[in-house]
Structure 1
Amino acid sequence: MTSADLVLPPTDRQTPTAALLQAPDAQPLDLAVGDMNLLLERHGHVVAVYPAGLGPAHERRLYAVRSVLESDRIALVGVDLPPLGVAVLVRQLRQLSVCDFSPGVVASAARLLAHYIHAGALLNSVARLDRVPVSLRTHARSWVPGSQFAVFAGPGPQLVRIGPSAEPPAGPPFATHLLLAKGQQASEWIEQTLVPAWGVQTVQECALPSGSARWWGTGRLVEFASFLPDISVIYQLVSSVRRENCHWCGMELIGDRCAFCSSPLAPAENRTHSPGVLGHGAPAPPAA
């Protein structure tokens, strides 16, 4: 993981913690290479998950470390989710890492599980928001004092201007928990409107990630992420997807691309995939 505040507390005693891959200004290259080599010696493989909005220098550092080590056992997985959504996904992958899945399946499961994370934020302005499509009219409205918006980044972008009759978009069609990171913004709409509308079972609070203000374009926000909480359901979901072997590096994977070497499956293999979130549609998660 590339930031300590994206490592959520484990849900049980079996869930391992995550290692921190520090930025170039916090650690020289030789020490970063040494730390990664130690992780490989201890665990065999490393799945490095980082947000798509990671600073360019930090992302280059990850690739530089892998290049220096000339290792095919390091997967660099960029995730196009807001910071809190990334933190939730990382914890789910940590849970999967102690199951009977191979490193290749765990790494490639990131794309699958990201689809089941409904991530968003409550913002007082969308004037500087550039990661979710916003119309010019909405941009103009965000300058009106007292404006408030609910922005949903995943699994699909949506925006709701908060008002007396504001209704949230359709939520996940399965039982979820919701993680709430309160920043410098009131969270009543989330707790009083969004949570009941989505049928959220449990609301948990955590600290706002340090990268959230940059991702959302404002420091006045409340970030949230709805997710599948049951590891048995997550396990069944990943197990239900057909597994392949990468024709380039031999790693096992699900989906259409290897998370370790980034090689796509051959076209003929692509055509054998059953419909799913990594193909033509999103399968419903198994019943708990």
Structure 2
Amino acid sequence: MMLPSADQPIPPAALLRGPDQQSLEQSLGEMQALLDQHGHVVVVYSSATPPATEQRLRSVRSILESDRVALLKSDLPPLGLAVLIRQLRQLSATDLSAGVVASAGRLLTHYIHAGAVLNTVAKLDRVPVSLKSHAKSWMPGKQFGVVTNPAPQLVEIGPEARLAGPEFGTWLLVAQGQLQTDWIGSTLASAWSVQGVVEAELPAESARWWGTGKLVEFATFLPDLSVLYQLVTSVRRDLCHWCGLELIGDRCVFCSVTTPGHARRDRAAAS
């Protein structure tokens, strides 16, 4: 799902097709065309992506022998993942290098609170579900509030139901599925002190990801590009000693090499 910009035009995203939709030769040609046009490609995909699709991505990257293709795998639910992709698109229009934009994905994930209101958690495997909650899922009229990122939470919707939210100003993106609830607008938005609520279409993968089509998905986001830019530029940058790209964090998303400083600290901690 590719969300429109909240404020100004931003670079478009390319939707890559899976092995059930095109041949390996077509996938190679598609990726090469993107590299020729943009220089670097950051592929953001869900941890729920079918294994065959993930293998295709790795095969394409390997055959092209390119360190200019970054594979960024995320545990975010579909709407949260769409938020992250839009934020990376916003940053790609700034003066940040490809390595910094790609590695910013891990940083920005921590600032996205993503979840849903569900009519059942019987098929939910994204957060721990107690036997009590599982049993209540079979009772008609029950609804559950779930957050998977940045930390798992699960509550039964009721007068005392509370979900821990962001401690900074955000907006709330809401996607309506086949469930009627006013809890998000009347309770959650107020408890989280959101600065505004924006509606979006429900991603096609949401029902499968959450285990039910009777849901309303939500995710917080920072709409201001200047805030995103400040978050990313406030983090220390390093140069990857393998591919030479600039990055933030402990690992280069393009060549998967751990930075020497982090590697030394890891060895010292282990000893």
Distance, in Å, in 2 between the alignment partners of 1:208 and 1:136 is: 29
DSSP-derived class of the 2:18 partner: coil
User: Residue 92 and residue 140 in structure 1: after superposition, are their counterparts in 2 closer, same or farther (change >3 A)?
Assistant: same
> How do residues 1-288 of structure 1 correspond to structure 2 at under 5 angstroms?
6-163=1-158, 165-267=159-261, 271=265
Deviates more, 1:18-27 or 1:262-271: 262-271
CA-to-aligned-CA distance 1:8-44 (integer Å, 9 cap, x gap): 1123444111001111111111111111101101110
Question: How many matched pairs?
Answer: 266
CA contact (8 A) 1:160 1:166 kept: no
Q: Which amino acid in structure 2 is aligned with residue 60 of structure 1?
A: Q
Report the aligned-residue RMSD. Answer: 1.4
Displacement after TM superposition at 1:173 (Å): 1.1
User: Residues of 2 paired with 1:82 and 1:144: CA distance?
Assistant: 25
String of CA shifts for 1:106-130, please: whole Å, max 9, x gaps. 0000010000000000001001101
Output the CA distance in 2 between the equivalents of 1:180 and 1:187. 12
1:223-247 Cα offsets, whole Å, 9 max, x none, are 0001111110110000000001112
User: In 2, are the aligned partners of 1:256 and 1:270 still within 8 Å (CA)?
Assistant: no
Counterpart-to-counterpart distance in 2, 1:195 and 1:179: 10
Amino acid at match of 1:74: V
Give the SS at the match of 2:212: coil
**Structure 1 residue runs of 4+, over 3 Å off?**
267-272
Q: How far apart, CA to CA, are the structure 2 residues paired with 1:89 and 1:268?
A: 25
Q: 1:69-101, CA deviations, whole angstroms, 9 ceiling, x for partnerless residues?
A: 111100000011000000000000000001111
Q: Is the 8 A contact 2:172 2:221 kept in 1?
A: yes
Quote the offset at 1:262 in angstroms: 1.2
1:168 shift after superposition: 2.1
**Distance across 2 between alignment mates of 1:29 and 1:215:** 26
From the superposition, tell whether residues 100 and 137 of structure 1 become closer, same or farther in structure 2 (CA, over 3 Å).
same
Structure 2 portions without partners, runs of 5+: 267-271
Aligned to 1:280: none
Secondary structure of the structure 1 residue equivalent to 2:55: helix
Is 1:10–1:16's contact at 8 Å kept on the other side of the alignment? no
| Alpha-carbon offset, residue 135 of structure 1 | 1.3
| Secondary structure in structure 1 of the residue aligned to 2:172 | strand
When residues 157 and 270 of structure 1 are mapped into structure 2, their CA distance, relative to the original with a 3 A threshold, is farther
| DSSP-derived class of the 1:85 partner | helix
Amino acid at match of 2:118: L
Secondary structure of 1:153's partner? strand
Q: One-letter code of the match for 1:172?
A: P
TM-score (norm: length of structure 1)? 0.89
Report the Cα distance in structure 2 between the residues aligned to 1:140 and 1:121, rounded to whole angstroms. Answer: 19
Q: CA–CA distance in 1 between the matches of 2:205 and 2:186? A: 26
Work out whether residues 250 and 262 of structure 2, in 8 Å CA contact, stay in contact via their aligned partners in 1. Answer: no
Deviates more, 1:45-54 or 1:246-255: 246-255
- Separation in 2, partners of 1:85, 1:110: 12
